[in-house]
Amino acid sequence: MKLTPRVAKILSWYESDNPGTKANLARILNAGRLGGTGRMVILPVDQGFEHGPARSFAPNPAAYDPHYHFELAIEAGLNAYAAPLGSLEAGAATFAGCIPTILKVNSSNSLATTKDQAVTGSVSDALRLGCSAIGFTIYPGSEYAFDLMEELRDMAEDAKAAGLAVVVWSYPRGPNLDKVAETALDIAAYAAHMAALLGAHIIKVKPPTEAISLDAAKKTYASHPVEVGDAAKRIAHIVQACFNGRRLVVFSGGESRGADSLLDDVRAIHAGGGNGSIVGRNAFQRSKPDALKLLSDIIDVYLSEV
């Protein structure tokens, strides 16, 4: 197999990484229907942890079985499947070599009393399960943000030494951030930038809204305006915050909703130069045929000319 020029270019941005990590990034970038394009669609299934099993899987009970998600991701031709320890343990051997996997190594839950996460997997776990990457969530703005960053630093160092890639979910929340702030453009760009500074290979954020939230940032955005009304321009600003495009950034799909609304987002990501989508509930809460249709439509957008 030969790398496409686009993938070769992307790998060149990760100039400090060892060949093991580059190979795992290449595995993710070369998998599925988007293989070689530099775009990705990833299936993440940690909602059982975050929201509980019934809220996650009752709409499509087949999804209670961890094998279902491996199959969905493979059949849809996705780039990778991300899940917590138990889920990967339950399918990693059956589907070994069929699709790159990302071990989500920390998780929160709806019963939690703090805006923190528990570390629930390790780099060793990722290695024994044949994963290509670890996935880690940070909450910039939380009282636990520094602890989360330090845990990430620690695990990322080990992951990189072991030739794994590091995917960072960067979700702003905390006592000084209201609901608007959590997805405001300036905050989202900041969150993405911090993930890049922390050494992430792939960054996951939510699509930003038009809001500018941090008082200290308003003057800057006033003198150096972003066309916040244009979703693609907002995406482009996030890409800029990811080392001007030197780090891969993907956007989450959010709550279950109509395919049209979701595809609008995807078109903006595509137009703005984002590297893809990470679509969970919108995929596995639909019936398998519907999910395959939607994922195919998303992939088609990323395959289209910008």
Q: Is 91 in the site for a second copy (CB under 8 A)?
A: yes
> What pairs with residue 202 in β-bridges?
167, 248
Residues 154-173 that bind a second copy (CB under 8 A): 157, 172
Nearest to 91 by CA among 69, 72, 58, 124: 69
Of residues 247-276, which lie at the interface with a second copy (CB under 8 A)?
A: 247
| Residues with Cβ within 8 Å of residue 166, at least 6 apart in sequence | 133, 134, 136, 152, 155, 156, 159, 160, 199, 200, 201, 202
Please give the residues from 116 up to 155 whose contact with a second copy meets the rule CB under 8 A: 116-122, 124-125, 128-129, 140-143, 145-147, 149-150, 153
Query: Of the two residues 33 and 286, which places its CB atom closer to a second copy in the complex?
Result: 286
Is residue 171 among the annotated active site residues? yes
Residue nearer to a second copy on the CB measure, 151 or 264: 151
Structure tokens at 31: 């998998």
Identify residues 14-33 at the interface with a second copy (CB under 8 A): 14-17
Tell me the per-residue interface mask from 217 to 246 with a second copy, x by CB under 8 A, - otherwise: x--xx-xx------------x--xx-xx-x
Q: Is 204 tagged catalytic? A: yes
Q: Which one of 23-31, 90-98, 250-258, 286-294 is the stretch in contact with a second copy (CB under 8 A)? A: 90-98
Q: Which stretch binds a second copy (CB under 8 A): 29-37, 91-99, 255-263, 270-278?
A: 91-99
Catalytic member of 160, 204, 206, 302:
204
| Min dist. Cβ of residue 61 to a second copy (A) | 7
25-33, 85-93, 256-264, 274-282 -> range binding a second copy (CB under 8 A): 85-93
Q: By rule CB under 8 A, what string of x and - marks binding of each residue 39-78 to a second copy?
A: ---------xx-xxxxx--xx-x--xxx------------
Stretch of 32-40, 88-96, 257-265, 268-276 lying at the interface with a second copy (CB under 8 A): 88-96
Residue 284 touches a second copy, criterion: CB under 8 A: no
Contact 31, 23 (CB under 8 A): no
Catalytic-role residue among 68, 81, 139, 171: 171
Nearest distance, CB of residue 214 and a second copy, angstroms: 7
* Separation of alpha carbons 62 and 52, rounded Å: 15
Count CA atoms closer than 13 A to 54's CA, side-chain side. 0
Question: Least CB distance from residue 81 to a second copy, whole Å?
Answer: 15
Q: Which residues form the catalytic set?
A: 171, 204
